[in-house]
């Protein structure tokens, strides 16, 4: 009597995504569903199922002033008109030449003159308005003029401001940074749950806000003349904030990467079993 070897047992396992997870228990042997129930959806349908990721993002950016204006005033009062003009023009020429030597462009210099009679004398006043883009150069020039000119020349404190283009760029930058923050958040969420982030379906800016300076600066705004240059720059700094809402498409991973406990049902076909025969 010889013992015949038993043929190897074969087990077939198939991961089947279900359209109706509530029907998973109705699977009968061989992977065939009962009549009237939903059939398992195909792998292609499971991958193209529409899913969305909704996130919000915020950002706050700031920018200091990019322009400063300083006014230099020269005046003289004399009984003779020619002497009055000569006194003012001599100092005025010295100021403009000094500015040009320091690298200030002519288009950034504006000169106005006012000549009038006061009782039995003549009075002339000239004002030089200088626009600076480099604040360090501005301070050096102002210090130089104070040192070289007499007390009849008055130099006003610098007034800092923003050009219209810089403010618009700041608003746009706040929105773009908020969108980037929202995209990064959605990307990290999808990575955490093992999914792939798709294209954006909706981008909406929900809120924008702008303000100038800090709260502490507003309390001392009445004493602006006593502020230092750095305090004035800080007070003129503009802040912009943006809040956005984004909707992204969520792409399903390939079928074999999807967890079986959430999207699939294991169907085991009948085992081919062969009994051994003893001869």
**92 φ, ψ to 5°?**
-65, -40
Kind and range of the H or E run holding 174: helix 164-192
Predicted confidence at residue 269, as pLDDT, reads 35
pLDDT band for 29, please (50, 70, 90 cuts).
very low
Predicted confidence at residue 265, as pLDDT, reads 38
β partners of residue 60: 241
Could you tell me if 154 and 195 lie in one domain?
no
Whether 267 maps to a domain, the answer reads no
Could you tell me if 130 and 181 lie in one domain?
no
Whether 110 maps to a domain, the answer reads yes
Predicted confidence at residue 40, as pLDDT, reads 52
Number of residues written out for the chain:
279
The answer to whether 68 touches 157, Cβ cutoff 8 Å, is no
Could you tell me if 106 and 244 lie in one domain?
no
Query: What's the rounded mean pLDDT across residues 27-36?
Result: 46
β partners of residue 213: none
Mean pLDDT of the chain: 77
Could you tell me if 112 and 240 lie in one domain?
no
Could you tell me if 115 and 186 lie in one domain?
no
Residue 169: give its domain's CATH number.
Answer: 3.30.110.170
Could you tell me if 109 and 175 lie in one domain?
no
pLDDT digits (tens, 9 = 90+) for 142-175: 999 988 887 878 999 999 999 988 989 999 999 9
Predicted confidence at residue 149, as pLDDT, reads 85
Predicted confidence at residue 118, as pLDDT, reads 87
Could you tell me if 82 and 145 lie in one domain?
yes
The answer to whether 154 touches 146, Cβ cutoff 8 Å, is no
Whether 8 maps to a domain, the answer reads no
The C-alpha angle with vertex 23 and arms to 18 and 25, in degrees rounded to 5, equals: 105
- Over pLDDT 90: what percentage of the chain? 54
Q: Which domain holds residue 122?
A: 67-161
- The Cα 16–Cα 14 span in angstroms is 6
Predicted confidence at residue 152, as pLDDT, reads 76
Could you tell me if 149 and 175 lie in one domain?
no
Could you tell me if 141 and 208 lie in one domain?
no
The C-alpha angle with vertex 96 and arms to 90 and 102, in degrees rounded to 5, equals: 135
pLDDT digits (tens, 9 = 90+) for 52-64: 999 999 999 999 9
Whether 235 maps to a domain, the answer reads yes
Whether 199 maps to a domain, the answer reads yes
pLDDT at residue 36 tops 80: no
Could you tell me if 155 and 170 lie in one domain?
no
Residue of 271, 269, 258, 270 lying closest to 18 (CA atoms): 258
pLDDT digits (tens, 9 = 90+) for 207-228: 999 998 864 545 555 555 678 8
Predicted confidence at residue 27, as pLDDT, reads 46
pLDDT digits (tens, 9 = 90+) for 233-276: 999 999 999 999 999 998 876 544 444 444 333 333 333 333 33
Residue 125: give its domain's CATH number.
Answer: 3.30.70
Lowest mean pLDDT among 6-20, 73-87, 169-183: 6-20
- The Cα 207–Cα 184 span in angstroms is 19
Residues 6+ apart with CB under 8 A from 238: 62, 63, 65, 162, 167, 170, 210, 211, 212
- The Cα 263–Cα 255 span in angstroms is 9
Whether 187 maps to a domain, the answer reads yes
Predicted confidence at residue 214, as pLDDT, reads 65
Q: What is the DSSP letter of 157?
A: P
For 65, 71, 120, 138, 148, the CA distances from 156, given in Å and listed in that order, are 18, 5, 29, 12, 16
Could you tell me if 93 and 150 lie in one domain?
yes
Query: What's the rounded mean pLDDT across residues 7-34?
Result: 45
Q: What is the number of domains present in the chain?
A: 2
Whether 29 maps to a domain, the answer reads no
Predicted confidence at residue 4, as pLDDT, reads 52
Radius of gyration of the chain (CA): 40
Could you tell me if 96 and 175 lie in one domain?
no
Q: Indicate the SS3 state at residue 128.
A: strand
């Amino acid at each position: 009597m010889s013992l015949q070897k038993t043929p190897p047992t074969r087990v077939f396992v198939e991961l089947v995504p279900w359209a109706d997870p509530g029907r998973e228990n109705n699977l009968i042997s061989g992977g065939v569903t009962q009549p009237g129930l939903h059939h398992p959806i195909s792998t292609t349908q499971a991958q193209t199922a529409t899913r969305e990721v909704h996130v919000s993002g915020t950002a706050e950016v700031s920018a200091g002033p990019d322009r400063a204006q300083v006014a230099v005033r020269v005046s003289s009062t004399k009984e003779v008109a020619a002497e009055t003009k000569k006194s003012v023009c001599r100092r005025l020429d010295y100021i403009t030449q000094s500015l040009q030597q320091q690298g200030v462009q002519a288009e950034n210099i504006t000169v106005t003159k006012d000549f009038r009679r006061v009782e039995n004398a003549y009075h002339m006043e000239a004002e030089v308005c200088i626009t600076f883009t480099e604040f360090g150069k501005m301070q050096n020039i102002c210090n130089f003029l104070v040192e070289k000119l007499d007390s009849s020349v008055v130099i006003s404190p610098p007034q800092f401001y923003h050009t219209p283009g810089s403010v618009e760029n700041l608003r746009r930058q706040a929105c773009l940074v908020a969108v980037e923050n929202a995209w990064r958040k959605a990307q990290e969420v999808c990575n955490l749950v093992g999914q792939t982030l798709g294209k954006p379906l909706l981008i909406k800016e929900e809120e924008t806000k702008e303000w100038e300076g800090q709260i502490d600066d507003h309390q001392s705004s009445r004493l602006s003349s006593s502020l230092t240059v750095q305090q004035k720059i800080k007070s003129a700094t503009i802040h912009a904030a943006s809040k956005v809402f984004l909707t992204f498409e969520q792409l399903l991973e390939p079928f074999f990467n999807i967890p079986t406990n959430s999207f699939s049902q294991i169907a085991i076909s009948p085992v081919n079993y062969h009994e051994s025969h003893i001869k």
